[in-house]
Structure 1
Amino acid sequence: MRRAITGQLKLSLGGSLLAAGHQAGEALVPVVIGLVIDEAIRPGDHERLLLWIAVLGAVFLTLSHSYRFSLRAVERASETAAHRLRIEVTERVLSARGGAEAGLLPGELVSVATQDAKRVGSVNVALGFGVAALAGLIVGGVALLRVSVPLGLLVLLGIPPLMLLAHFLGKPLERRSGTEQERAAHASGVAADLISGLRVLKGIKAEDAAVERYRLTSRDSLAATLRAARAQSWHYGGMLILTGVFIALVALVGGRLAAQGDITVGELVASVGLAQYLLGPLSILAWANGDFAQGRASAARIAAVLAAAPAVAGGEGGLPARVEGRVRLRGVSHDALRAASFEVSPGETVGVVSSDPASAAALLRVLGRAADPEPGGRVELDGVPLAEVDPAEVRRAVVVAEHDAELFEGTLFDNVASAAASPAAVAAAMAGAAADEVAAALPYGTATMLTERGRSLSGGQRQRVALARALAAEPPVLVVHDPTTAVDAATEARIAAGIRGARAGRTTILVVTSPALLAMTDRVVFMEGGTPVADGTHADLVRTNAAYRATVLT
């Protein structure tokens, strides 16, 4: 939150000064009215009346313009600070080192990057008007000192304890606001997950269970929101009582002084007007304190995302200028993987079959450097340990096309070409993944617009488009995970031949259980319990290894 303010210091200071000018002008209005009464109306001096009316008009002109431009400055500071926080959170979430998303649903991360960033940015508005309110209280206090020393001292000495009480009143609001944002973000994440998996939920007839899950989450979020709203009401109510008592005390003291003849009629009008005016700055301070309380809670949530431990270290080394594609695993253990060791030669197409899906998922993570092996294990590319290389550089050389790869809203062509090594690679990749058949079936071919996550396509069509995108990148090493689980046998055979042709001369690792894809590989590595136990051609393993046969043919 400190950075959100200091990063916009010029705008915040400028806005604060202009807002202070507005509040000072507001404080001067009752003072000028009192002078009009004492120096023009009571003596009956028409010329001085016109003069003081002109002065009053100038005060109103100044304070109105000050407010207009101060609001413009602090709002700009607020929006700019919030935008920079959104960018910072997004960069951290998308960082090649990962880790920021651990334990959080996508919807929660979106809430942090939007709602929490907005709340933190808005403290610039609260700061500007809070400073202005203090300036108004000081000007009002000084003006009251000129009218009466007891009145001025009452205001100036009463402000600090009032601010301290406001701070303590804001503590429950800060705590409950943080909980409110956390629960609301979790509810958004659950809703996003349910919507994205709606087709699957309907397929397994789990709609009722999903609805009940969201209902419970939503009620939890509602309860947190109501608790925060109650805390906010108590905060504002408490501040209203405190400020009301304070203003009544000021008015009472001023009235007694006027009754005793210690101040004039004009000074009495000025003191009563100042007492009424003081309610405005005090209310602003109450609002600013509440805004700061909510901002601190949101800032803590943003800080937790930014400070999340990375999934992998940065790495200072680099890969060779020309990557040949030799992949070697030496004693790699991670999650379900157990001391896995095997090697893939440059240009070789190797299938990896695992009897445990968790082992396959762990293998994908270490190959794409989404995670590093446990100490003692190494994953090497052309003899260079991947743990010593920047993750972003690793992923330029090693592309992992996961089974549930997402498509984006846009044309089919844009989805495939987004990572294409060259324009010519798009057509070859489309043919290799049988995605040209998908384009032929669409009303506008490759120019057809796809909806979010490619939901306008069938499961098999999405798989083919995602595979085409991976092939179009033409990386030195391509790792593909079950790319044909939703296509028919004839299409799968065509895709198998297409991958072989598109990846000729480049290293390809197919983490699959499809016999059609395994049949076209140079050899297959079979893993049981997270450890490679057999290595050979698909035909040999089907003939000689019963466990392999059961895994790929059952």
Structure 2
Amino acid sequence: MRKADPAGRSVLRRSVVGQRRDVVTGAVLGMAHQTGEALVPVLIGLAIEQGVVRGDFPGLLLWLGALALVYVGLSFSFRRSARAGERASVTAAHQLRVRLTGRVLAPEGGADEGRLPGELASIATEDARRVGAVTMAVIVAVSATAGLVVSAVALLRVSLVLGLLVLLGTPLLLWLGHLLSKPLERRSETEQQRAGRASGVAADLVAGLRVLKGIGAGPAAVARYRRTSRDSLAATLRAARAEAWQSGVVTILTGTFIALVALVGGRLAARGDIGLGELVSSVGLALFLIGPLSEFAWVNAELAQGRASAARIAGILDAPAAVPRDSRRPAAVPRATEGRLRLRGLSHATLRRVDLDVAPGETVGVAVTDPADAVALLRCLGRRADPDEGAVELDGAELTALALTDARAAILVAEHDADLFDGTLLENVTAVVPAVAGARSPVTVADALAASGADEVARALPDGTATAVTARGRSLSGGQRQRVALARALAADPPVLVVHEPATAVDAVTEVRIAAGIRDLRRERTTVIVTNSPALLAATDRVVLLETGRVTADGPHDRLARDNAAYRTAVLT
């Protein structure tokens, strides 16, 4: 956390400065409220001095009228200050969520590396809320400071000793409160990390619940979540104990300080150095001080938690990009992309100097002996990562020379585990528009549904393509989700389509139909099918075999299956 502190402070500062209008409004009105609260015991003392000690009834009525006006003012200012503070807090948290969402979804990627979706959701909700609450803490801190200053000035007018006691004792008390918040800050960071991890594990388990039940892995998944949840609970209890310990100690110190002020005031009254009204004002001010000092204890706790959350948010906002941002003027994608794809000496992760040429309109299958090779290839083709060596070229231009959005529009990589979204089946299929600007795609929705076998899915649903699909497609089976996701990729009709294992969750008959559908629908468009499925590979123009990160075979599926032992092992075993 120490390394993230500067970035965390920047997040806090930007959140507060971004809401400066509401923060200033809330602080000014809060100061007015605290000033009015501090004046209440002073006015009561003056009323007692005039009406009781001197017997001045008109003077008593005058001070009581002033007291009534102060009460009206402090009530109004409190409500308006609280409203401005809440608005600043909620707005700051919302803007942070927007920034976090934008960073996670940014084309250059990198923000979600090493983080589960549930953890990202926890940061975007709870951590953003805690950072937003810092704006309210600033308002409360400024308001409480005004109350302390007015109280100190009033006590100085009553007695120099009382005034100095408050002026010197308050900073010492605040410093001690700041020191006591340090353990809470550390434990709050751990608490949020463990809670985010638990949320991430829970989200993953829920997403794969059907698969876990199918393979009988439910007990192991429950045991895993139980361990993670217990770690989160332990961290939360440690943070709660730290907060309780801090609050308790600060309360004891505050009570001792207030008792000291009251004791000194009482001794001064006993000696006759101050009058009855001044004694009442002094005791009232001493009791009033409990409020501002308690608020400072709350402010310290909020700042401690806000700093910890800001560091976690900064970790996402400042995460290094998976691929460089477009720092130079990108080359334009040709208006009519031919779809000529070339891999030249490509090395990345497990890939070692891969050379591959795909002609425009050709359908090429890629079989692998190691799934990691497929992952590395897909990341480079989709420009989720740039090659360590070599290049990926589209129509003679390196992908790194193109804008990220243009490169990904020209080469669409359809992952086998692509998610569906909340909406109808038709809305999921038509979610991606044709990527080539100004072009009208010859592929219709009906064509895409038929080629992917998703038309059978639609016919099996109660409302056909108008049937609502729940988030991540959980209302569909695995095979149905896979066919709808493939239909979406086919409907996009990109110049180059890369599909990864599009038929692992369907039966053999449907798999053969999908293979024929992709071949026919993409006949004049460049297509790369990364799969070890014999049915899909048989429908391609040719197949290349990636073995130990290198291309070791290239040819038609039938010939490779007959002559290449490594290919037979990878595809037919």
- TM-score tier by shorter-chain length is over 0.9
Q: 1:408-447 counterparts in 2 under 5 A?
A: 408-421=421-434, 425-447=444-466
**C-alpha distance after superposition, 1:46-92 (max 9, x if no partner):** 32222222111100000011000001111111111111111111111
Task: State the partner residue of 1:468.
Answer: 487
SS at match of 1:377: strand
Q: 1:344-355 counterparts in 2 under 5 A?
A: 344-355=358-369
1:510 aligns with 2:529: yes
Q: CA deviation at 1:123?
A: 0.4
1:147 aligns with 2:158: yes
Residue pair 2:469, 2:475 contacting (<8 A) in 1 also: yes
C-alpha distance in 1 between matches for 2:317 and 2:28: 33
Task: State the partner residue of 1:163.
Answer: 174
Task: State the partner residue of 2:221.
Answer: 210
Which residue of 352, 377, 383 corresponds with 1:369?
A: 383
* Structure 2 counterpart of 1:186, one-letter code: R
Task: State the partner residue of 2:89.
Answer: 78
Task: State the partner residue of 2:437.
Answer: none
Task: State the partner residue of 2:418.
Answer: 405
Q: 1:290-309 counterparts in 2 under 5 A?
A: 290-309=301-320
* Structure 2 counterpart of 1:459, one-letter code: G
Task: State the partner residue of 1:191.
Answer: 202
- The worse-fitting range, judged by mean Cα deviation, of 249-258 and 330-339 is 330-339
C-alpha distance in 2 between matches for 1:456 and 1:269: 70
Q: CA deviation at 1:226?
A: 0.8
Residue pair 2:50, 2:57 contacting (<8 A) in 1 also: no
Q: CA deviation at 1:420?
A: 3.3
- The worse-fitting range, judged by mean Cα deviation, of 419-428 and 469-478 is 419-428
TM-score normalised to the size of structure 2?
A: 0.94
Q: CA deviation at 1:426?
A: 2.0
1:378 aligns with 2:391: yes
Instruction: Give structure 1 stretches of 5+ with no counterpart.
Output: none
Residue pair 2:424, 2:468 contacting (<8 A) in 1 also: yes
Residue pair 1:430, 1:465 contacting (<8 A) in 2 also: yes
**C-alpha distance after superposition, 1:221-248 (max 9, x if no partner):** 1111111011101111111111111111
Q: How many residues align?
A: 553
Task: State the partner residue of 2:372.
Answer: 358
Residue pair 1:403, 1:481 contacting (<8 A) in 2 also: yes
Task: State the partner residue of 2:405.
Answer: 392
Residue pair 1:314, 1:389 contacting (<8 A) in 2 also: no
Which residue of 326, 329, 336 corresponds with 2:350?
A: 336
Residue pair 2:194, 2:235 contacting (<8 A) in 1 also: yes
C-alpha distance in 1 between matches for 2:195 and 2:506: 39
**C-alpha distance after superposition, 1:120-169 (max 9, x if no partner):** 01001111011100100000000111111111111112121111111111
Q: CA deviation at 1:535?
A: 1.2
Which residue of 264, 267, 283 corresponds with 1:256?
A: 267
- The worse-fitting range, judged by mean Cα deviation, of 40-49 and 111-120 is 40-49
Task: State the partner residue of 1:9.
Answer: 20
* Structure 2 counterpart of 1:205, one-letter code: G
Q: CA deviation at 1:177?
A: 0.5
Q: CA deviation at 1:538?
A: 1.4
Quote the sequence identity (%). 63
C-alpha distance in 2 between matches for 1:56 and 1:550: 92
Residue pair 1:420, 1:469 contacting (<8 A) in 2 also: no
C-alpha distance in 2 between matches for 1:142 and 1:262: 18
C-alpha distance in 2 between matches for 1:32 and 1:179: 48
Q: CA deviation at 1:299?
A: 0.4
1:122 aligns with 2:110: no
Q: CA deviation at 1:185?
A: 0.5
Q: CA deviation at 1:321?
A: 2.9
C-alpha distance in 2 between matches for 1:383 and 1:456: 43
Residue pair 2:111, 2:319 contacting (<8 A) in 1 also: yes
C-alpha distance in 2 between matches for 1:138 and 1:121: 27
C-alpha distance in 2 between matches for 1:425 and 1:60: 71
Q: CA deviation at 1:476?
A: 0.8
1:553 aligns with 2:572: yes
C-alpha distance in 1 between matches for 2:520 and 2:264: 94
Residue pair 2:189, 2:305 contacting (<8 A) in 1 also: yes
SS at match of 2:386: coil
TM-score normalised to the size of structure 1?
A: 0.98
C-alpha distance in 2 between matches for 1:91 and 1:537: 44
C-alpha distance in 1 between matches for 2:115 and 2:570: 34
- The worse-fitting range, judged by mean Cα deviation, of 544-553 and 527-536 is 544-553
* Structure 1 counterpart of 2:220, one-letter code: A
Q: CA deviation at 1:530?
A: 1.4
Residue pair 2:104, 2:111 contacting (<8 A) in 1 also: yes
RMSD in angstroms over aligned alpha carbons? 1.3
C-alpha distance in 1 between matches for 2:246 and 2:354: 60
- The worse-fitting range, judged by mean Cα deviation, of 164-173 and 416-425 is 416-425
Task: State the partner residue of 1:529.
Answer: 548
Task: State the partner residue of 2:111.
Answer: 100
**C-alpha distance after superposition, 1:192-233 (max 9, x if no partner):** 111111122112212111111111111111111111011101
SS at match of 1:331: strand
C-alpha distance in 1 between matches for 2:569 and 2:307: 57
